[in-house]
Structure formats: structure tokens, C-alpha cells
């Protein structure tokens, strides 16, 4: 383990209540389409806006939003499929308004090629559907996750990998970390300097490996979420 990882682990142990680390509702969505929507609409906004949008979508189409906290994946027959989401796009005009009531852009500062978040949700879902990923179980069993993530990260506004990492976390990957501004700020406080997003993700994973000896249930996903909750409360 690097010295940076040790520093981060020490800082996290001091700042966070790791003995009581718990994931929140968003990590227990009922169906994979919610993970797509959440991960894309989280780009560049406060999470409260995302919670309201996902809730609006759930109520509008009568899709069950969450499964029980701490539970495993629902039966596939109890999940809405990725193709159910793509069909909704085919059924309406102006999906940014008629599906999500949100005209936000995924890359609002781009000089060229700005893309609506609604359109990015559609493209993301289409990429999954095209390789027959419809449910949590399909995603978990997909034989080439690296190639899939590379394809998803090639979509507009997703080059940083942050949204794709977050999608994986929401969909159950315990090893993933979302190196967003919250995590980057926490690491800067721990180390005294900035780090890149890729290095930040590795540091959280390595720090978790150190902390896991004291807190055996802790995973990188748990540690990331505790960091996020701590930063959100600041």
C-alpha cells in the first residue's frame, strides 16, 4: 500500500463513523433502468435534484423505485427491463420533458456537441440493450465488463469514467468508487494536495483494504458512500 493510501485510511478512520457504514436507498433500486437515470442525471448537479427527478419518473410510470435496504437483486421477473426504458423513449416526443421533466445538459459548457441528459440516458440504455443486458443479473454476468465500460465511456460527456463507475456502484459492484468532487475534496483534505480521479479511485480502494482489517464488512463502495455523506453534510 502507498503512503497516500495509509494517510487516507487514517484520516477516514478519524473523520467517518465506519463501524456504522450503511448504503442509502439509491443502492437498492428495484430495476437497472433507475441506475442509468441516476448516474446520468447526477452529472454536475446537487443530488437532491436527482432524487426528485427519479421519484417523479417512478410515480409517472408506476415503476417500483426501491427494493428492501440490504437485500440482494430482485427476481428478474420483478424488475423493469432496460428495453422497457428504451420503449418509453420510442413512445414520446421530447423525452427530456415527457419522461423526466428536465432539459439539463450532460456537458453544458461544451462549445460543440452538447447533449441533453435525456438523450444520453437513451444512448446508454441502448448500448446495454444491444448486448442483451436487461437486468442486474445480466450486467453481473456479462463476460467482458472492461470492453463494455470502454464503450459506455466513449459516449458524449462520459469520458471521465465517473458516471460509468457510479452506474456500476448503483448496480451492485462493491469494488467501485466514484471519484467525483466530493471524494476529490476529501482526499485533498487528507493528503494536502489534489489527485487525479483515477488515482483517487485507487486510493479509496487501497485505503479500504487497510481499514477492512478493523471494519471487516467495509467495501470500497461503502467507504466511498461514507465519504460522500460526510462531504455532503459540510
The tens digit of pLDDT for each residue in 53-71 reads 999 999 999 999 999 999 9
pLDDT of 141 reads 98
**Model pTM score:** 0.96
Q: Measured between alpha carbons, how far is 168 from 139 in angstroms, rounded to an integer? A: 9
With a cut of 50, list the residues of the chain below it in pLDDT.
Answer: none
Extract long-range pairs of 183-189: CB within 8 Å, 24+ residues apart. Answer: 183/224, 183/227, 183/228, 183/231, 185/231, 186/12, 186/15, 186/227, 186/230, 186/231, 187/8, 189/11
For 87, the enclosing helix (H) or strand (E) is helix 82-91
pLDDT of 113 reads 86
CA atoms 53, 58, 60, 61: torsion sign: positive
Q: Mean pLDDT in the chain?
A: 96
Contact 225, 24 (CB under 8 A): yes
pLDDT of 112 reads 85
- 172: which strand partners? none
pLDDT of 1 reads 59
Amino acid at each position: 500500500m502507498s503512503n497516500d493510501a495509509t494517510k487516507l485510511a487514517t484520516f477516514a478512520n478519524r473523520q467517518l463513523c465506519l463501524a456504522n457504514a450503511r448504503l442509502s436507498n439509491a443502492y437498492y433500486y428495484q430495476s437497472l433502468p433507475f441506475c442509468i437515470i441516476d448516474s446520468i442525471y447526477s452529472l454536475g448537479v446537487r443530488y437532491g435534484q436527482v432524487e426528485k427527478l427519479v421519484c417523479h419518473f417512478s410515480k409517472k410510470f408506476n415503476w417500483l423505485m426501491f427494493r428492501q435496504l440490504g437485500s440482494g437483486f430482485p427476481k428478474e421477473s420483478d424488475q423493469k427491463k432496460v428495453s422497457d426504458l428504451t420503449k418509453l423513449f420510442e413512445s414520446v416526443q421530447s423525452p427530456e420533458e415527457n419522461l423526466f421533466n428536465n432539459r439539463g445538459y450532460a456537458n453544458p459548457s461544451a462549445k460543440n456537441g452538447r447533449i441533453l441528459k435525456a438523450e444520453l440516458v437513451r444512448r446508454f440504455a441502448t448500448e446495454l440493450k444491444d448486448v442483451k443486458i436487461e437486468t442486474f443479473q445480466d450486467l453481473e454476468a456479462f463476460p467482458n465488463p472492461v470492453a463494455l465500460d470502454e464503450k459506455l465511456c466513449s459516449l458524449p460527456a462520459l469520458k471521465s469514467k465517473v458516471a460509468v463507475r457510479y452506474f456500476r456502484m448503483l448496480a451492485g459492484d462493491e469494488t467501485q468508487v466514484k471519484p467525483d468532487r466530493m471524494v476529490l475534496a476529501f482526499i485533498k483534505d487528507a493528503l494536502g494536495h489534489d489527485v487525479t480521479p483515477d488515482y483517487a479511485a485507487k486510493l479509496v480502494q487501497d485505503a479500504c483494504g487497510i481499514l477492512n482489517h478493523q471494519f471487516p464488512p467495509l467495501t470500497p463502495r461503502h467507504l466511498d458512500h461514507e465519504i460522500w455523506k460526510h462531504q455532503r453534510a459540510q
